[in-house]
């Protein structure tokens, strides 16, 4: 019996980087995984890796800034697997540079993906989890949600927002048997990191994935609403 047998997880931004690593690790531990993202080729590549280890995976093209896409993502999840036990809100973008020089549409895009999209995904999954009287919502924040950084002003603001959202929502949903956590990586070796630095990152995506597995194993000891720092696992 695996840790997540009979569980169904939805991972946004599941086609690459941290999201792909999380999806793969959840599948290794027995979960059926729905991976959502905008790039079909990336979703197919991650699905192939999960299939190769004998995991169950279902890719769904979705843009978390579009409510119709979010609803379709959950409709397809329920149609395919009948339930949803875990939501990993991982989709995120950033822009590196002085705030005063940022294009207006980039400000909007970062807020819409990193915070508003995350909120809409969460709002749509709550009725399913309430019906089950059980659920786990994992919001990928960042150490940049605890400390501000120059040239990442809007990104930091959204990640601070994710932590506040997590802590507040956890208080609302605890009575429904739904637990909510924020996961806070430091620099992680992904395409997003490579956009802003030519230095090695502190973590690899697998560190984030394994931190989540460790959380799930020890969840009853960890208060809901907590923002959890990522340790080195790999």
Mean pLDDT by 10 residues, the chain (234 residues): 97 97 98 98 98 98 99 99 98 95 98 99 99 98 96 98 99 98 84 68 84 97 97 72
Say what the pTM is. Answer: 0.95
pLDDT of residue 203: 72
Q: Return the pLDDT at 218.
A: 97
Q: Supply the pLDDT for residue 228.
A: 97
Q: How many domains does the chain have?
A: 1
Strand pairing of 227-229 and 178-184?
A: parallel
In a domain, 61, yes or no: yes
Q: Which residues are tagged catalytic? A: 155
Q: How far apart are CA 198 and CA 204, in angstroms?
A: 15
> Residues near 181 by Cβ (< 8 Å), separated by ≥ 6?
136, 137, 138, 139, 166, 170, 215, 222, 224, 225, 226, 227, 228
DSSP structural state of residue 71: H
Please check whether residue 117 lies inside any domain of the structure.
yes
Residue 181 · residue 226 · CB < 8 Å:
yes
234 part of a folded domain? no
The pLDDT of residue 187: 64
Nearest Cα neighbor of 40 from 66, 14, 79 is: 14
Residue pair 140/163 in contact by the 8 Å Cβ criterion: no
Strand-pairing partners, residue 86, are 9, 136
Give the per-residue pLDDT at 178: 99
Determine the pLDDT at residue 162. 99
Position 1 in a domain: no
Q: And the tokens for 103? A: 């294009």
Tell me, yes or no, whether 203 lies in a domain: yes
In a domain, 2, yes or no: no
Measured between alpha carbons, how far is 11 from 33 in angstroms, rounded to an integer?
Answer: 7
- Residue 234, pLDDT score: 60
Can you list the alpha helix ranges (DSSP code H) found in 2-39? Answer: 17-28
Range of the domain at 152: 8-229
Whether 85 is in a domain gets the answer yes
User: What's the CA gap between 192 and 189, in Å, rounded?
Assistant: 8
For the domain that residue 24 is a member of, what is the CATH number?
A: 3.40.50.720
Q: How far apart are the first and last CA of the chain?
A: 24
User: Which residues touch 234 (CB under 8 Å, ≥6 apart)?
Assistant: 204, 206, 207, 210
């Amino acid at each position: 019996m695996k840790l997540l047998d009979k569980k169904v997880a939805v991972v946004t931004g599941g086609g690459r980087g941290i999201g792909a690593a999380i999806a793969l690790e959840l599948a290794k531990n027995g979960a059926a995984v729905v991976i959502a993202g905008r790039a079909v080729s990336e979703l197919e590549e991650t699905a192939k890796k999960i299939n190769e280890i004998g995991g169950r995976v279902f890719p769904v093209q979705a843009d978390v800034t579009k409510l119709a896409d979010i609803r379709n993502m959950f409709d397809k999840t329920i149609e395919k697997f009948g339930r949803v036990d875990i939501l990993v809100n991982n989709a995120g973008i950033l822009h590196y540079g002085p705030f005063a020089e940022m294009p207006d549409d980039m400000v909007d895009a970062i807020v819409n993906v990193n915070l508003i999209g995350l909120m809409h995904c969460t709002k749509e999954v709550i009725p399913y989890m309430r019906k089950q009287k059980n659920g786990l919502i994992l919001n990928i924040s960042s150490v940049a949600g605890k400390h501000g950084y120059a040239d990442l002003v809007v990104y930091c603001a959204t990640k601070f927002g994710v932590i506040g959202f997590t802590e507040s929502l956890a208080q609302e949903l605890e009575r429904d048997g739904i637990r909510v956590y924020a996961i806070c990586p430091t620099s992680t070796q992904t395409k997003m990191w490579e956009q802003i630095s030519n230095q090695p990152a502190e973590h690899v995506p697998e560190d984030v994935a394994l931190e989540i597995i460790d959380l799930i194993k020890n969840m009853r000891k960890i208060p809901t609403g907590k923002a959890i720092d990522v340790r080195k696992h790999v």
